Amino acid sequence: MTRREFISLLGGAAVAWPLAARAQQPAEMRRIGFLTIFSKDDPEGQRRVTALLQKLQELGWTDGRNIRIEFRWGGGDPDRSRFYAGELVGMKPEAILLNNAVVLPLLQNETTIPIVLLGVADPVAEGLVASLARPGGNITGFSNAEYAIGGKKLEVLKEVAPDVTHATVILDPRQPNHVGVARAIEAAAPSLRVQTTMAGATDVADVERAIAEAARQPNGGLIVFASLVINTYRRMIIERAAQHRLPAMYDYRYFVGEGGLISYGTDPAEWYRQGAVYVDRILKGAKPGDLPVQAPTKYLKTAKALGLEVPPTLLARADEVIE
């Protein structure tokens, strides 16, 4: 080999090697944030995250391969949740998935990072979006309630427990969707011959007082709205309702899975699956302000017999019966 041939070969290798090295580099790692009200060991929280990860994978995104998800678990602690929200915003991810109403006020100061709400209250009433159809800013996502559902909740409770003549509604008065659904319950109550009491609950002591007061009412029942405190203490709430033999209506299936009587509401895992779709679109260039906030389209009835004879007509209409 001549000297000129050797130099040419060496030069060719010098050009070819970086190209080969670049081909072996991993795909660009995209980063998103995730904040939930649940603790990491909560089965319902894990069920929702599994739905999110599965849908992301279907769309070509695998955590640790081409996307990095910064998971933060609020665990029912408002201060921890606010800290994590600030931490995620400081990381400047390409999007944040959020299921934690406690931190919503903080988001009004963040106008650049795309934020996808996963079943968080009423974003219009909260002032987070201009409208459901055209959010207009950096926030979009999935609403967790239609106010008219309140009348249906009371109707189903009355159907499974016809003797109920007084319903105590346990809600968080700071959440606009709770107030809206509660008003729908009040509007439906006279036609169902039920009196109602609204019990605001922002901590566990409030919840305990509301249950004790409901137990003192003749033919009493409960309608319990999911919130930070309700999710955190849900096992205690279910046990107390059973101890006092209070027929209780809950928002979601997982309350029934843990011993509650009946639920009527949306499937939260669906918000996470659809949230994955929105993250995919945002990572591919879509603007959150152009993605409509979606309201629930399907409601699930889930029942469990707790010493009550659930009417066969209701069981036939239930999406799921837990024995």
Cα–Cα dist 299/174, whole Å: 24
Q: How far is CA 53 from the centre of its chain?
A: 15
pLDDT in tens, 31-82: 999 999 999 999 999 999 999 999 999 999 999 999 999 999 999 888 999 9
> What digits encode the pLDDT tens for the residues 184-241?
999 999 999 999 999 999 999 999 999 999 999 999 999 999 988 999 999 999 999 9
For 10, residues 6+ apart whose C-beta sits below 8 A from its C-beta are: none
CB 170 within 8 A of CB 178: no
The C-alpha atoms of residue 74 and residue 245 are separated, in whole angstroms, by 32
Residues contacting 123, CB < 8 A, separation 6+: 117, 129, 132, 135, 139, 141, 143, 293
Predicted confidence (pLDDT) at residue 12 exceeds the cutoff of 60: no
Q: Is 218 exposed, middle or buried (0-12, 13-18, 19+ CB in 10 A)?
A: exposed
Return phi, psi of residue 168, to 5°. Answer: -95, 125
Q: What is the pLDDT of residue 123?
A: 83
Strand 262-265 relative to strand 300-303: parallel, antiparallel, unpaired? antiparallel
Q: How far is residue 172's CA from residue 178's CA, in Å, rounded to a whole number?
A: 6
SS3 of 40, please?
A: coil
pLDDT at residue 20 tops 60: no
| CA-based nearest residue to 275, from 51, 72, 41 | 51
Rg, C-alpha atoms of the chain: 25
Q: What is the pLDDT of residue 191?
A: 97
pLDDT number for residue 276: 98
pLDDT for the residue numbered 165: 97
Confidence of residue 6 (pLDDT cuts 50, 70, 90): very low
Q: Say which range, 5-19, 90-104, 290-304, has the weakest mean pLDDT.
A: 5-19
CA dist 171 and 224 (Å) reads 7
Q: What was the pLDDT predicted at 265?
A: 87
CA distance 72 to 87: 9
Residue 99 tokens read as 């299921």
Which string of DSSP letters, residue by residue, matches 72-87? EE-TT-HHHHHHHHHH
Query: What pLDDT does 319 receive?
Result: 52
Given CA atoms 87, 89, 91, 97 in this order, what sign does their dihedral have? positive
pLDDT of 16 above 60 = no
Residue 4 has pLDDT above 90, yes or no: no
Q: How many CB atoms lie within 10 A of CB 112?
A: 9
172 Cβ contact partners less than 8 Å away, ≥ 6 residues apart? 178, 200, 201, 202, 225, 227, 228, 229, 230
Hey, what domains does the chain have and what are their CATH numbers? 30-144+268-290 (3.40.50.2300), 149-265+300-321 (3.40.50.2300)
Q: What pLDDT sits at residue 217? A: 94
pLDDT tens per residue across span 151-197: 999 999 999 899 999 999 999 998 888 999 999 999 999 999 999 99
Task: Please write the tens of the pLDDT for every residue from 71-82.
Answer: 999 998 889 999
Residue 310 is predicted with a pLDDT of: 56
Q: How confident is the model at residue 295 (pLDDT cuts 50, 70, 90)?
A: confident
Is the overall model pTM greater than 0.85, yes or no?
no
